Structure 1
Amino acid sequence: MSELPVVVVGAGPVGLAAAAQVVARGLTPLVLESGDSAGAAVAQWNHVRLFSAWSELVDPTAAELLAATGWERPDPSGYPTGEEWARLYLRPLAAALGDRVRFGARVVGVARRGRDRVVDSGRDTEPLTVHVATADGEERISAQAVIDASGTWTTPNPLGGDGLPALGEQAAADRITYRVPNLGDPAVRARFAGKRIAVAGSGHSALTALVTLAGLAEENPGTEIVWLLRRGAVGTVFGGGEADQLPARGALGLRAQAAAEAGHVRTVTGFRTAAVERIDDRLVLESFDGHKLDPVDEVVVLTGFRPDLTWLSEIRLDLDPVLQAPRALAPLIDPNVHSCGTVYPHGVAELAQPEAGVFLAGMKSYGRAPTFLAMTGYEQVRSIVAAIAGDHESAARVELTLPETGVCGGAGVFDEPAEASSGGCCAPAAPVDVTLVAR
C-alpha cells in the first residue's frame, strides 16, 4: 500500500506541517480541506493576535519546503495576528504543496475498505478509505494512512454548564456568539457598543474578549461587561503575568486584570448556566442553583472546544472517556490533574490508535483539553510521519524543547483551563480586587 497517499484532513498549521513531513520522507500527501483556502479556521479569528511568536509558529520542515520557493520568513520575534499567520505562512505553504492540497473537500467518513468497525478479517491488509463530499458529488479515496488534523474550531462548547446547550440557548442564537468579537468590523462594533454583555469562560479566549470589550467600554460609557466564571473564585485565572515564559500570554492576563481593576468588568463566580430566557428582547441567564442575572443584550460564550468524532464512527479508536483524547496522551494533558502549563513533547507512541495507520494530531488530539501549542503539533506529525515511513528510531525520538510556562494555557486563543477554584498555575498571579458575586 506504500504507493497510496497519506491523507491529511485539514489544511491548518498542523495539517500542512504533516504534509511537508510526508513530502520530506518521499511519500505522497493528499490534504483534504473543507474550506476554500489554507487556514480556513484561522481566517475566522483573523483579528486576534497570537501569544506565540513567529519562531514558534513555523514548522522547520515546512520552512525548508518554503525556502525553495523564495519565501521570505517573517521576523521570528514578532507576534502575528491570525490574518498574518494565514497570509504570510499557511497560504504560501499550501501553494508550495500545490495540487497535493484540495480545497472544498469535506471528509464525511473514514473506514477500512469493505469492512465496518466490527469485522476483523482483512483489517491488516486492506487500505483505509476516505469518503469525501465536494461540490461535484461524492468520492472515495484509498489511503495508506490518515492523519486527522481537522481541529476542533467548528465544535465550540455550549453555554450550558453541564456540557449541553442551556435551555433556550439555541432559540437565542441571534444574541449569542461563540467567538471573540471582531470590533474592527463596524457592524460587529455597533452590535456590542452601549450594550450589556455577558462573557462566559475563563481561558485566554475569554481574557482576550474582556480586554477587547473593556476598550469598547472606555469609548462607549453605556457598555457593561459581566464576566461569568464556573469556578468558585477568580483565583489565578489571570495567569502568571511576568512569570509566564510566553511573554505575550502573560501580558494578556495582566491587561485583563487591569480591565477588571479599572471597573469595566463585573465578575460573577460559581455561575453554571442552566437556562436562557428572552424577556423584552433581552436575555436572562439562570444558573443551576436558581440564581438569575439581570438582563443582558449579548452573550459571548468562550468555554472551549470539543472534537467532532462522528465521521470516525467506523474506525477503531481508543480514547480517554473524559477528555476524548488518545488514551495514552490523556494523562499528560488532563486539566483535572495538571496544575502547570508544561506538557511533555510526545509523538506516535501516545497517538497511535488500534486502527493501524489512523492518527489524531493537533488540536483534535487534545480532545476537550486546553493548552495546545502549535509546536507541539509540529512535533506530533514529525513523529507520526517518521513512523509511517518506517523510521521508528526517529519516531521515538523527542526533537522538541517546550518553554516552561508560568500558567496553564496554550496555543493562540483556544483554551478553557480547569475550573478548580485554586486555579492552575505554576506562579500565582497577584491578588485581584474585582466585584465578585459569589454563589
Structure 2
Amino acid sequence: MVFDIQAALKRIASVFGQTNDQAPAPTGDDGLLPGQIADALQPQPYPSVTEWPDDVLATIRYRQSTSYREVSRALGIKGGAAAAFEHLRETPRPGLTPEQFRDYMGWQSLFSDEELEAAKQTIAEADAEEPELPQFDLEDGLVRQRWFRIQTVLEEQALRHVGQPLHMLPYIATLPEGDINARVVPTMDGDNYVIFYDHGMMRYLRDFAALVCWVAPPIDPTALLDDRAIAQLPRSHTLPPGTIDVCLNTLRRYIYEGTPEADAPYVSPPEWNRHLFVPVFQNMLSFVVAHEQGHVRLGHFATDRFGPVPEGEADGNAAFLISYQSLLGGQSWSVPFWCADLALIAFRMLDHTLCVLEHGKTGLPWKDEIYPAPEERRNSLRNYVPGDIPEISRLATGNLIGMNNSLFAMVEDQVTLFLVSDYTKGLRPSPLWNGRVRRTWGRAPQTP
C-alpha cells in the first residue's frame, strides 16, 4: 500500500471535526489542514515565561499555593505551602553535553557529526538568549523553560528519527495533588488555559519509561524507525531478571510517598534497551499533553462536555495525532501509538496498586463517573487505529499492543502478590491519594 500524504492530512482534519467554538472547520480546495491542526503539527517556539499574561501567572500562583498548603496539612509538614514545596521541589540536575547524551542513550549510529554540531550550536544560542525568569511564590524550575529547552533542542535532534514532539499548549505548571491525571484549567479571566501536571506525574512517566526499557525485549534502535521491523519483533516474551523489583520500587515510591521527595533517585534504564527511554518518555508525555489539548480543540470546554465519552475522544485523538505526525515524517506510525497505550498502562498500574493497598484485593467496580477505568480507555483507544494507514503499520501496532498485553499482564500478576503482602503488613497509600481512592475504588471501611 502506498501512503497518500494528502489523504492523511485530510484524515487528521476530519478527526478533529470542529473547532473549539463549534464552527465547522475549513478544509479548502488545496488539501491543506485547518489552521489549528497545521499549527499542532509544526514545531513552534515555546513562549518565554516573561511573556505570560498576568491572569496566567495569577492562576498558577493561586492554585500552586492552595495545593501545596493542602499537602502540608495532609503530610503533617510544618511551615505551610512553602515548606511542602521545599520538601518536594525538584532541583535541576547538571545537564549532559550533546556527546554525553548521544553516548548515554546509545544513539551513536543515529547522530551524524553535522547533526551533533548543529545541536551544540542551538544549545549555545539558547543559553545566550535565555531571559531571567520572574519569581513565583512557588517556583518549580523543572517544568519551566529549562524543561522545554530539553524538549526542543537536543532531544528534538534525536527525535527527528523517531517522530517529532508536538507543539504544546503554551502555559504549563505543576500541582502536588496526588492525582496522576493532568488537567486543563481556564485562567481567572477565562481568556487562556493552563495545563497542570501533578507534581509527581512527570517523574512517574519518566520512571515508567525506564521501566518499559526493562520490560520490553531488546529492540534495535533502527527498528524504532520502521514499522516493517516492528512487525517482525518476536511474539513470545519473557521478563528479564530484576524487572519485578524495579516495578515494585517504582510503584511503592509513588503510592507510599504520594509524590517523590526532591532527592528520590530516578529509575535507571538497562544498558541493552537504553535507547528506548527518550522516545518512550517523549511520546507518552506528548500523548498526555495532546489529550489535554484535545479537550480544548474538540470543544469540550465550549460545550461543557465532560465524562467517559469525551475522555475517550481526547485519548483517541491524541494517539492518532502523534502517530500520524510520525508517519508524515517518514517514521513509524506504531511506536507513538504504542507509547500512548503504555501511558494508559502506567496509569492502570498505579490505580491497580491503590486498589490492592486500600482493599487488599483486586476486581472491585470502578466508581469514577468522569474518567473511564484505565483498561476501558485502552480498549477504546484501539478503535482509533484507522483503516487508511499502511497495512504494515497496522500489523506493527498490533504486534506492540500484543506485547504490552503479554508482558504487563505478567508484571501485574507478580506485583500483585507483593502488594497483597504489603497490605497484610498494614502498609497503606499516602494521604495524598485519599481523593483519588474515593473517586476510583472507594475508601475501605477500616481505613481512617
Q: What TM-score do the two structures reach when normalised by structure 1? A: 0.27
What TM-score results when the alignment is normalised by the length of structure 2?
Answer: 0.26
Structure (1 or 2) with the greater helix fraction: 2
**Which structure shows the higher strand fraction?**
1
